[in-house]
Chains A and B, each alone.
Chain A
Amino acid sequence: MKILIALLLALPLAAQAPPAAGQTSTPPQNQQDQPAQQSPPDQTQTQAQDQLPAALADSTVTGVLDIGYRWVVDRNGDLNTYRSIVNLEEGFRVFGLNFLITPAPNKYVDRITVDAANWGDPYNTLRIFAQKGDVYRLNWTYLNTNYFNFLPSFADPTAATGFFFNQRGFDTRLKDNDLMLEFLPGKHVVPYVAYNRNSFAGSGTTNLVLQSNEYTFPTNYDDFTNLYRAGIRFDYVRWGLTLEGGEYNFHDAQQLPLTATFTGTPAGFTNFGNLTTPFLGQRLFLNSGDQSYGVRVHGFFTRGMFSARPVSWASLYAQFVFNQGTNEAHFGQLATGNIVNLANLVFYNTAGEVVNASAKQPHPSGSFGADIRPWKRIRFLEAFSADQLHDSTGAVETDTFLATGVPPNVSTTFSPQDYVVTYNRNEANVLFDATSWLTLRGGWRYEWGKIEAPTALALASLEAVEQSKLNRNVVLAGLVARANQKLRFTADFEGSSGNHVFFRTSLYDYQKGHVQVRYEPMPTLTLTGNFNILNNDNPFPTTYKFRYWDASASAYWTPKASRYTIMAEYSRPSYSSTIQFLNPSTLTPALSIYNLQGHEATALVDVAMLPAKVGIQPRISAGGSLFLSSGTRPERFYQPLGRAMIPFGKHVQWYGEWRWYGFHQPLFDIEGFRTNQLITGLRFLM
C-alpha cells in the first residue's frame, strides 16, 4: 500500500502538462476550509469545487493534497477503550488527497478523479473514478478499516472481581475493494463488469465452549469473499432492461492454535475457564484447545430489471432476482484437560469433535412498481415485492471422549434442518395536488408472510420447529407544502393496529411520524428542523412498549463573500423501552427497561482574519461535536477542535489543529479516556 500511496501522489504530476501561454490553473479559493478530518460535513469545500472549471482546454490538475503530522499528547485513561473508540495514533499522515485530473485530449481518458483520506490512520479509503467519453467509465473504491474492540467491561464475566479480560476482543482489519467498469456509458447498450473483494483478518479472543465450562483462547480470524458480476444494460427513453449474473465465494479459515496459550504464559498452562467452582466434585480445566474451521461458500445470482414509460403519464418497474448460496463446512476441535460429558456424567481427559455440514439456500425475490399520473393533480404509486428464503441444511457431528482406564465414548448425530421465510409487501399511495403548493398523500401497506425456524435447541420434549406469521395492515398519510422556493414543509405518518408479527419486538401496534421544515431564505443559508416519533406496543403475551422521539435542527450559513461560515447541527433523541421476560432460572417475571435521553451536536465556525480585499487570508475555525446521554448507560463524549490556517502564496497553506477527545461513563469509570491531539500540516492547492 505504501507503493500505492507513492504512485497516487505522483499521479497528478504525471498527468500535468505545462500550462498554455496565458493560462493558469485556478486554485480553489475556499479549499483552505477543508478540515483534516471531516466533522461536521464540510460545506465550504464544496463551494470551492463550484469554482473548478468544468472543462479546460489543456491538461490540468486541480485539487488538494493535505499532509501533516499528528502528536497524541497527554493521553490518560484506558488505552483499550481509546483504541476501541478513537484509535488515532501519532505519526505522519496523508489526511486528504483530492484531485481532478483533466488530461490533454487523448484517446484513453478524459477525466480522472482521485480521492483518498486518512492514509496512515486505521481507517483509510481511496476512490478513483476515470472516464473516457462514451468509451468506458471506471469506479474503484478501496476501504481499509482496523476494527479494534477490547472494551474491558464487554463480554467479561470476571469484571466484578476486578480482573478485566474481554473474552470477545478483536484486533482485525477489514478490507473492501470494489471495482466497476462500464463500457459505452451513455449509449443505449452498456455492458459492465464488476468485482468486489472483502476480507476480514487479524487476531482476537474467543471462547472454546465445552460442556459446563468455557475457556478463553486467542484466535486468528482469516476469511474473504470474492464477488464477481457482469451484465448488460439496455437504456432507451421508453424502456430499460438490465440483465446481470454473478458469482460469489467465501472462504473461512478461523483457527484457535493447538495448545493455544496467551503470549508470555508458560508451556503447560492450565486454563480453568469461567467456572470457578468444582463441578460434581472436580475442577474442570483445559491444558490445550484446538479449533479449526474450513468453510467454503459458493453462490450465484441472476438479476433482471425492467422499466418502461409506455406513455408519458405512466412508469413501470419490475425486478426479479434469484440468488442461491451453498456451503460446505468442516470443523474440528480437540481439547485436553479435565472435561465432563454430561450424557453419562463421566470425566475424560480428551474431547474431540468433528462436524461436516452443508447448506443450500435458494433465495428468489421479485418486485413490481408503477408510477401513474392519469390526471394533472393525481398520482398513484404502487409497489409490490415478494421474497422467499429457504435454508435447507444437514450436519453430521461426531463427538469422542477419551480417558485412561475408561472406555471411549463416541457418538454421532445427524441433524437436518429447514428454515423458511416468506415475506410479501404491497403498498399503494395516492398523491393529490390540492393546490400548486400543497400535495396530500394517503395510502395503505399490507405485509404478509410466514416463518418456520428450527428451535434454538431441539430438545426431545419440545417443538423442533417454531412457526409464526406476519399479517400487518398499515395506514399511510402525508403532506408536502411548498411556499415559493424557500420554504418546504413535509409530514409523514404511518400506523398499524397490529395482528401477527414474526418477533415480539417487531412493529405491531405502532404509530410512526416525521415532520420536517426546511427554509432557505437565501441561497447561502439553509435552516432545517425535524421531528420524528415512533410508538410501538405489543401486549401479547405481556408488556412490550417502545417509545422513541427525536427533535433536531440544523443551520448552514456559507456565504461566498463573507468572512464567516457557520454550520451547526443539534439533535435531542429519546428512547424508552420496557419489555417483560421470565427470569430463565427462576421463571419469575422481570422487566427489562432501557432509557436514553441524549444531546448530540456538531458545529464549526470559520472566520477569515482579514477582509477579502487583502490578498492573504489567514483563517481560524472552532467547533467540534459532543454527545451527552443519561438513562441506562450515561455517557459523555466530547470532541472539540480548533484550527488555524495561514496561506503562503496561492498554492501552499500551513495549518495547525488541536483536538480533544474526552469520554466518560459514570457507571463504567474504568472505560474513560481523554487526550489532546495536535496536528500540523501543509496543504498544497493545485
Chain B
Amino acid sequence: MACEACHGPGAKHAETADPAFITNPAKLPPLKAAEICLQCHGNQPERNGRVQSAHARNEISCLSCHAMHKGPERLLPIRASDINRLCATCHTAVWTQFMRPYKHRLDTGSMSCVDCHNPHGSFLPKMLATVAGNQIACFKCHGNLRGPFTYEHPPVKTEGCWRCHEPHGSQNPRMLVRADVRFVCLECHANIAVGKTIGGVPPAFHNLASPRFQNCTICHTKIHGSFVDPVLER
C-alpha cells in the first residue's frame, strides 16, 4: 500500500515540501479521517455493527486508537495492558471501577477491554462482542452459563448478565449490583408487579427474617439456569 492511499496525491507536496499540499488524516475532522480508513477497512466483518456504536454516534476517529506510523504495537495493540491503557484514557470512570475489590482482572493485565467489547461496534448493547454468532461475549469464558437450559432464568438471556452483576467491578461479593443477594432477587420477585412485568409469579413465601432465606442462592444454586429443575435448585 502506498502513502497516497491515505494521504492523497503527493506529487506537489514532494516537489515543494509544503504541508499544504498533502492530506494529513490526523488533522482532519474525525469523520473525514475515518472515511479514509473505511475506504479499505469499511467492509471488514468487525465493523458490521459500526453504525450502532456509541463511537460512530460520537464521531470517534479511528486515529483515536490506532497510531499509523508508530510501530505495530501502536497500530494494533495486542498486549492486554496496552489495550486497557488506550480505553482508559477516555473511559476513566470505567477503568477506576477495576480498582474495586470484586472485579474482572483487568488491573493485572490478565484481560483486556476487547475480550468483552468490540470497539468497532456491535448489534448487541454496550458494544458487546459476540460469541457463537449472536451470544454475548460473557459466554466465551463462562461457557457453563450459556445453555440452552431446560429451565432458563429469563433475565440472563433477556437483559444480560449486568442485570444482576457489575461486570467491571463492584463493592459487593460476586460483583452483584446490591449488597445482599435477596435484594437483587426481590427487585423482580416482589409479588407486586404481576401482569405488567415478569418475575412476580408465584408469590415468594419465604420468611426473610430467617437467615436461611436471606441467601437465596444457597438453595437456588443454579440461578443462571438449570438443566433439570424448574425452581433452579439443582
Query: For the complex, what is the distance from the CA of A174 to the CA of B111, rounded to whole Å?
Result: 13
- A367 pairs with B171, CB closer than 8 A: no
- Whether, in the assembled complex, B90 has its beta carbon less than 8 Å from a beta carbon of chain A, the answer is yes
Q: A331-B227, A457-B231 are in contact. Are A301 and B134 (CB under 8 A)?
A: yes
- For B202, the chain A residues whose CB sits under 8 A away are 455-457, 459, 462
- For A37, the chain B residues whose CB sits under 8 A away are 107-109
- Whether, in the assembled complex, A282 has its beta carbon less than 8 Å from a beta carbon of chain B, the answer is no
CB distance from A238 to the nearest CB of B (A): 8
Interface size class of A (residues with CB under 8 A): 35 or more
Closest 6 CB pairs of A and B: A240-B43, A225-B143, A41-B85, A361-B148, A581-B190, A329-B227
Residue of B nearest to A661 (CB): B101
- B197 pairs with A501, CB closer than 8 A: yes
- A391 pairs with B133, CB closer than 8 A: no
**Proximity string of chain A (322-345) to chain B, C-beta cutoff 8 Å, 1 when within and 0 when not:** 110111010101000000000000
- For B93, the chain A residues whose CB sits under 8 A away are 530, 532, 550, 552, 571, 573, 600
- A117 pairs with B80, CB closer than 8 A: yes
Q: A293-B227, A379-B31, A429-B57 are in contact. Are A503 and B148 (CB under 8 A)?
A: no
Q: A363-B134, A365-B134 are in contact. Are A503 and B197 (CB under 8 A)?
A: yes
- B110 pairs with A145, CB closer than 8 A: yes
- B109 pairs with A456, CB closer than 8 A: no
Q: Which of B54, B56, B144, B198 contacts A371 (CB 8 A)?
A: B56
CB distance from B68 to the nearest CB of A (A): 11
* Chain B residues with a Cβ under 8 A of chain A: 26-27, 29-31, 38-40, 42-45, 47-52, 54, 56-59, 70-74, 77-82, 84-85, 88-93, 95-97, 99-102, 105, 107-111, 123, 131-135, 140-144, 146-152, 154-155, 157-159, 163, 171-174, 178-179, 181, 183, 186-193, 196-212, 214-215, 217-219, 221, 227-231, 233-234
- B57 pairs with A382, CB closer than 8 A: no
Query: For the complex, what is the distance from the CA of A155 to the CA of B180, rounded to whole Å?
Result: 9
Query: For the complex, what is the distance from the CA of A360 to the CA of B52, rounded to whole Å?
Result: 30
- For B148, the chain A residues whose CB sits under 8 A away are 297, 299, 325-327, 359-361, 391
- B101 pairs with A149, CB closer than 8 A: no
- For A24, the chain B residues whose CB sits under 8 A away are none
- A327 pairs with B150, CB closer than 8 A: yes
- B188 pairs with A505, CB closer than 8 A: yes
- A370 pairs with B51, CB closer than 8 A: yes
Q: A117-B109, A457-B231 are in contact. Are A329 and B192 (CB under 8 A)?
A: no
- A395 pairs with B150, CB closer than 8 A: yes
- B-side interface mostly: loop
- B56 pairs with A331, CB closer than 8 A: no
Residue of B nearest to A328 (CB): B227
Segment with Cβ contacts to B, from A4-12, A246-254, A678-686: A246-254
Residue of B nearest to A629 (CB): B171
- Whether, in the assembled complex, A113 has its beta carbon less than 8 Å from a beta carbon of chain B, the answer is yes
- A301 pairs with B133, CB closer than 8 A: yes
Q: Which of A207, A331, A385, A530 contacts B228 (CB 8 A)?
A: A331
CB distance from B132 to the nearest CB of A (A): 5
- Whether, in the assembled complex, A309 has its beta carbon less than 8 Å from a beta carbon of chain B, the answer is yes
- A-side interface mostly: strand
- For B26, the chain A residues whose CB sits under 8 A away are 485
CB distance from A625 to the nearest CB of B (A): 4
- For B101, the chain A residues whose CB sits under 8 A away are 85, 627, 635, 637, 663
- If A113-B78, A168-B221 are given as contacts, then 16 extra A-B residue pairs at C-beta distance below 8 Å, sorted by A number, are A39-B107, A123-B105, A196-B131, A223-B143, A308-B43, A309-B38, A317-B49, A329-B228, A359-B148, A423-B158, A478-B57, A503-B199, A504-B193, A553-B92, A569-B95, A581-B187
Query: For the complex, what is the distance from the CA of A223 to the CA of B146, rounded to whole Å?
Result: 12
Segment with Cβ contacts to B, from A49-57, A70-78, A608-616, A648-656: A49-57
Q: Which of B51, B54, B196, B204 contacts A382 (CB 8 A)?
A: B51
- For A443, the chain B residues whose CB sits under 8 A away are 57
Q: Which of A214, A451, A544 contacts B158 (CB 8 A)?
A: A451
Query: For the complex, what is the distance from the CA of A265 to the CA of B174, rounded to whole Å?
Result: 29
- Whether, in the assembled complex, A415 has its beta carbon less than 8 Å from a beta carbon of chain B, the answer is yes
Q: A38-B109, A365-B123 are in contact. Are A237 and B39 (CB under 8 A)?
A: yes
Q: A242-B45, A355-B229 are in contact. Are A637 and B218 (CB under 8 A)?
A: no
Segment with Cβ contacts to B, from A14-22, A156-164, A400-408: A156-164
CB distance from A308 to the nearest CB of B (A): 7
Query: For the complex, what is the distance from the CA of A93 to the CA of B91, rounded to whole Å?
Result: 31
CB distance from A186 to the nearest CB of B (A): 9
Query: For the complex, what is the distance from the CA of A443 to the CA of B219, rounded to whole Å?
Result: 46
Query: For the complex, what is the distance from the CA of A393 to the CA of B151, rounded to whole Å?
Result: 8
CB distance from B186 to the nearest CB of A (A): 5
